Amino acid sequence: MHYDEPMFDREDLRMGWKSARARALARGVIAGFALLAAGAVAAHHRGYGAAGRPGEFDAYLLSWSWSPAFCAGRPGDPECHGPRPYGFVVHGLWPQREHGRIEYCRTRQRVPADLARSLGNLLPDRRLAFHEWRAHGSCSGLDPGSYFALLRRAATRFVVPPHLRAPAVARLLRPSQLAAEIERANPAFGARSLAVFCGHGTPPRFTELRLCLTRALEPRTCPAAVLAAACHAPLLEVLPLR
């Protein structure tokens, strides 16, 4: 959120000290609202996550975003008007505790620009690489290179089902049907080691797939909070590739 902060100029000085003091007070009020708004945005993003110490977690959650649903709401995003359409896009590899994820751990390490560019086949928008490191990679206990190498390894564990490789038309199906398609293509993942997520429309759109992994990247049962937050709508819509 951007605020245009009032500035003093020559006219202010001619208006006298009362006007200047009033403007200074207004500037302080605006700055205060800006701080409150920034805090609210940060709190909203954290969700059920909490800050913690790097490396102190129990498992990983590998999140795959369904790009057609993402782009339906953000057509101007770089991911949505690139040289080719995307289906599944890696959203991130998130350290998890049994009762929620940890986020935004303290670190002085940064993602080198060349590393971010090298992730283009996984993360179409380089900004996502920087964000994922700050929000999640910082809690992995790894350096950026090792963290994104681990993300690549985790991504290879997932096989895209045939019906989701290049869908040309939208489909309506039950969340359990979509989960079953994914399980058939990925037999190592049982019904409780993956979760299908959807939005809030009528019908809601399929937005995301989350796979639950051990720290060794083996499939595991998802934490209760992940399963509870999954899509429980009677039907969801799977949008086609653009």
Look at residue 50 in the predicted model and tell me its pLDDT: 63
Mean pLDDT for back-to-back runs of 10 residues, the chain (242 residues): 31 36 41 38 41 89 96 89 88 91 92 94 90 96 97 96 96 97 96 95 96 97 94 97 86
Which of 35, 75, 49 is closest to 226 using CA atoms?
49
Which token pair is 28? 């302080």
Q: By the 8 A CB rule, do 50 and 225 touch?
A: no
CATH superfamily of 59-238: Ribonuclease T2-like (3.90.730.10)
Q: By the 8 A CB rule, do 171 and 206 touch?
A: no
Look at residue 124 in the predicted model and tell me its pLDDT: 87
Please state, in angstroms and as integers, the Cα–Cα distance from residue 63 to each residue in 33, 93, 168, following that order: 34, 6, 23
Which of 60, 55, 47 is closest to 158 using CA atoms?
60
What are the boundaries of each domain within the chain?
10-46, 59-238
Query: What is the residue type of 202?
Result: T
Which of 188, 182, 191 is closest to 226 using CA atoms?
191
What span, in angstroms and rounded, lies between the C-alpha atoms of 168 and 242? 8
